[in-house]
Amino acid sequence: MVQFDGVAVRYGRGPEILQDIQFALPAGSFHFLTGASGAGKSSLLRLIYLAQRPSRGRILLFGRDTSAARRYELPALRRRVGVVFQDFRLLDHLSTLDNVALPLRIAGATEQDVQKFVPDLLNWVGLTEQMHANPPTLSGGQKQRVAIARAVIGRPDLLLADEPTGNVDDRIAMRLMYLFEELNKLGTTVVVATHNENLVSRLDYPRLLLENGRVTKA
Ligand SMILES: Nc1ncnc2c1ncn2[C@@H]1O[C@H](COP(=O)(O)OP(=O)(O)OP(=O)(O)O)[C@@H](O)[C@H]1O
Ligand SMILES: [Mg+2]
- Segment 186-216, tens digit of pLDDT: 999 999 999 888 889 999 999 999 999 999 9
Q: Taking the CA atoms of the chain, what radius of gyration do you get in angstroms?
A: 17
Pocket mutation for ligand 1, best pick of 17, 32, 162 (most atoms within 8 Å of C-beta): 17
* Range name among 5-19, 68-82, 100-114 with the lowest pLDDT average: 68-82
- Residue range 165-192, pLDDT digits in tens: 998 999 999 999 999 999 999 999 999 9
Closest approach atom of ligand 1 to CA 163: 27
Query: Atom 30, ligand 1: which residue's CA is nearest?
Result: 38
What is the distance in A from the centroid of ligand 2 to the CA of 61? 21
What is the distance in A from the centroid of ligand 2 to the CA of 174? 20
Closest approach atom of ligand 1 to CA 43: 18
pLDDT at 99 over 80: yes
d(CA 83, CA 157): 11
Provide the pLDDT confidence category of residue 217 given band limits of 50, 70 and 90: confident
- Residue range 6-33, pLDDT digits in tens: 999 999 999 999 999 999 999 999 999 9
pLDDT at 49 over 90: yes
Asked if residue 62 belongs to a domain, the reply is: no
Asked if residue 60 belongs to a domain, the reply is: no
Structural contact between residues 183 and 152, judged by C-beta atoms closer than 8 angstroms: yes
d(CA 176, CA 165): 8
Closest approach atom of ligand 1 to CA 40: 18
pLDDT at 218 over 80: no
Q: How many CA atoms lie within 13 A of 53 on its CB side?
A: 10
The total number of residues shown for the chain amounts to 218
Structural contact between residues 62 and 157, judged by C-beta atoms closer than 8 angstroms: yes
Query: Atom 8, ligand 1: which residue's CA is nearest?
Result: 43
Establish whether residue 37 lines the binding site of ligand 1, counting it when its CB lies within 6 angstroms of any ligand atom: yes
Asked if residue 20 belongs to a domain, the reply is: no
Q: How many domains does the chain divide into? A: 1
Residue 16's nearest CA partner among 7, 24, 25 is 7
pLDDT at 80 over 80: yes
What is residue 63's predicted lDDT score, i.e. its pLDDT? Answer: 92
Asked if residue 8 belongs to a domain, the reply is: no
d(CA 132, CA 13): 45
The 10 Å CB-count burial string (b at 16+, else e) for 145-161 is: bbbbbbbbbbebbbbbb
- Residue range 114-153, pLDDT digits in tens: 999 999 999 999 999 999 999 999 999 999 999 999 999 9
Query: Atom 7, ligand 1: which residue's CA is nearest?
Result: 11
CATH number at residue 156: 3.40.50.300
- DSSP 8-state symbol, 33: E
Host domain of residue 39: 27-53+74-217
Torsion of CA 191, 193, 195, 200, to 10 degrees: -10
Asked if residue 3 belongs to a domain, the reply is: no
Asked if residue 103 belongs to a domain, the reply is: yes
pLDDT at 69 over 90: no
The 10 Å CB-count burial string (b at 16+, else e) for 38-62 is: ebbbbbbbbbbbbeeebeebebbbe
Asked if residue 7 belongs to a domain, the reply is: no
Asked if residue 61 belongs to a domain, the reply is: no
What is residue 105's predicted lDDT score, i.e. its pLDDT? Answer: 95
Edge-to-edge strand ranges of the sheet holding 158-162: 81-84, 158-162, 189-193, 30-34, 207-211, 214-217
